[in-house]
Amino acid sequence: MKKIFLAVAMASVAFSCSQKEPITVTVTNSLHIDREGEMVEVSMAEVSTRLQLPDTAQVVVLDENGMEVPSQITYDGMLIFPVSIKGNASVVYTIAEGIPQPVEVSACGRQYPERLDDMAWENDRTAYRTYGPALQERGDRAFGYDIWTKSVSDMVVEDRYDGELNRHVSYHVDHGNGMDCYAVGPTLGGGTAALFPDSTIVYPYCYKECDILDNGPLRFTARLVYHPQVVKSDSAVVETRIISLDKGAQLNKTVVSFENLQETTPVVAGIVLHKQNPDGYGFDANAGYIAYADSTENASNNNGVIYVGAVFPAHLKGAFTRLFSEEERKERGGALGHVLALSEYEPGSEYVYYWGSGWSKYGFETDTDWIGYLEKYAQQVRNPLLVSVK
């Protein structure tokens, strides 16, 4: 994939594009921990109104030193940019009319009809995919998210598909930047959510419709709509997911809603447990996370450990493991069960959580490193950065 690089711009260059008074944005961190590269959002409608911008105008974001910060306008009308801020501190940014410098693509994806309608996406840290209509029509049972490891910041998914489909280069082998060595099968895979009536998982099948809403450079967003499901007395429950992945993040923000669901219903987010590491899970309902250290398929090939996790901004009703019976293990491809986080879904609301992965060959050498990341991430989503626009 072609890369475009961010050039540094001084405030005098940006302001020369406009004589209008710039907007001041103060970002405050209420936690005692430092926060690095966290994306903040400002309403583009408010920016346009304050700066009296015509529809074709563009804006730049500048830090406290007058240096340009990479930014993106998202599908829902937000101006986003990364912020690094010390604990219990504030930083000030400026938004002004001007032509932004090109930005390196660090989050992107697409649907792959040439590979059974996979929808795959990535950022500079990790990569994911979920399965589409063609795979379901073929009869494959793959309900959960798949995880692709990465060990480079470059965008690699497009090349992996090209190698697998056109050049006889398997993406199940690490050729220097990571691989696909994660087993999903007929399980929730790497953090999928599912309704849980009567303590029974209603497994979502492959998506029916897919729309790419944002395709970089800093955020990838997709909307997935699923086939109707039967949930107790409701016969046509339709799930919609909006998945977004930001530059620098290991976790995807996911907003889930269920249409035609008539009553409050338990919902879980789950991570599959494999026989290679039956005791590698962890959870803390109060801290708001579940985790698993997956030793991957073909671990003898030195594939490392894939660390999987999910984080929850709202209070959890519980977190626990649910193991399969011997009979169900055969049905679930030999998987042992799931580690689950339990919440409740109110009809007409949105269920928001974060899920994703890290790799022992790219920043997470131990289980402790991964748990520390999840604990910090949970604190951050439960204590968002405060953004004041003046």
Q: Is residue 91 domain-shared with residue 112, that is, in the same domain? A: no
- The verdict on residue 6 lying in a domain is no
Q: Is residue 214 domain-shared with residue 294, that is, in the same domain? A: yes
Q: Is residue 176 domain-shared with residue 301, that is, in the same domain? A: yes
Q: What is the dihedral of CA 200, 308, 286, 288, to 10 degrees?
A: -90
Lowest average pLDDT, out of 8-22, 84-98, 170-184, 335-349, goes to: 8-22
pLDDT of 15 strictly over 50: no
Q: Which residues pair with 388 in a beta bridge?
A: 26
User: Domain containing 90: what range?
Assistant: 11-104
- The verdict on residue 321 lying in a domain is yes
pLDDT of 152 strictly over 50: yes
Q: What is the CATH number of the domain that holds 34?
A: 2.60.40.1180
How is residue 372 written in tokens? Answer: 């520390």
Confidence of residue 56 (pLDDT cuts 50, 70, 90): confident
Q: What is the dihedral of CA 336, 339, 344, 345, to 10 degrees?
A: -70
Q: Is residue 96 domain-shared with residue 112, that is, in the same domain? A: no
Of 182, 222, 217, 192, the closest CA to residue 305 belongs to: 182
pTM above 0.85, yes or no: yes
Neighbours of 16 (CB within 10 A): 11
Which of residues 104, 121, 152 is at a domain's end?
104
**Mean local confidence (pLDDT), 143-154:** 97
**Mean local confidence (pLDDT), 7-15:** 41
User: In the chain, what is the straight-line distance between the N-terminal and C-terminal CA atoms, in Å?
Assistant: 38
pLDDT tens digits along 233-260: 999 999 999 999 999 999 999 999 999 9
- The verdict on residue 120 lying in a domain is yes
Q: Is residue 245 domain-shared with residue 296, that is, in the same domain? A: yes
Mean pLDDT computed over every residue of the chain: 93
Q: Is residue 53 domain-shared with residue 171, that is, in the same domain? A: no
Q: Is residue 45 domain-shared with residue 152, that is, in the same domain? A: no
Q: Is residue 205 domain-shared with residue 336, that is, in the same domain? A: yes
- The verdict on residue 281 lying in a domain is yes
Q: Is residue 258 domain-shared with residue 270, that is, in the same domain? A: yes
Q: Is residue 86 domain-shared with residue 140, that is, in the same domain? A: no
pLDDT of 11 strictly over 50: no
Instruction: Fill in the DSSP letter of residue 370.
Output: H
Of 123, 22, 2, 5, the closest CA to residue 70 belongs to: 5
Split into its structural domains, the chain has a count of 2
pLDDT reported for residue 334: 94
pLDDT of 42 strictly over 50: yes
Q: What is the CATH number of the domain that holds 347?
A: 2.70.98
pLDDT of 5 strictly over 80: no
Q: Is residue 271 domain-shared with residue 296, that is, in the same domain? A: yes
- The verdict on residue 276 lying in a domain is yes
Which of residues 51, 69, 104 is at a domain's end?
104
Instruction: Fill in the DSSP letter of residue 145.
Output: B
Residue 268 makes CB contacts below 8 A (sequence gap 6+) with: 193, 194, 196, 201, 338, 340, 341, 342, 343
Question: Using an 8 Å Cβ cutoff, are 244 and 219 in contact?
Answer: yes
pLDDT reported for residue 291: 98
Phi, psi of 315 (to 5 degrees): -65, 135
In whole angstroms, what is the distance from residue 260 CA to residue 348 CA?
9
pLDDT reported for residue 302: 82
Which of residues 69, 86, 104 is at a domain's end?
104
- The verdict on residue 313 lying in a domain is yes
- The verdict on residue 390 lying in a domain is no
- The verdict on residue 75 lying in a domain is yes
Question: Using an 8 Å Cβ cutoff, are 26 and 90 in contact?
Answer: yes
pLDDT tens digits along 292-321: 999 876 555 689 999 999 999 999 999 999
What percent of the chain lies above the pLDDT cut of 70?
Answer: 94
Phi, psi of 239 (to 5 degrees): -95, 135
pLDDT tens digits along 274-287: 999 999 999 999 99
How is residue 213 written in tokens? Answer: 């809403």
Q: Is residue 267 domain-shared with residue 153, that is, in the same domain? A: yes
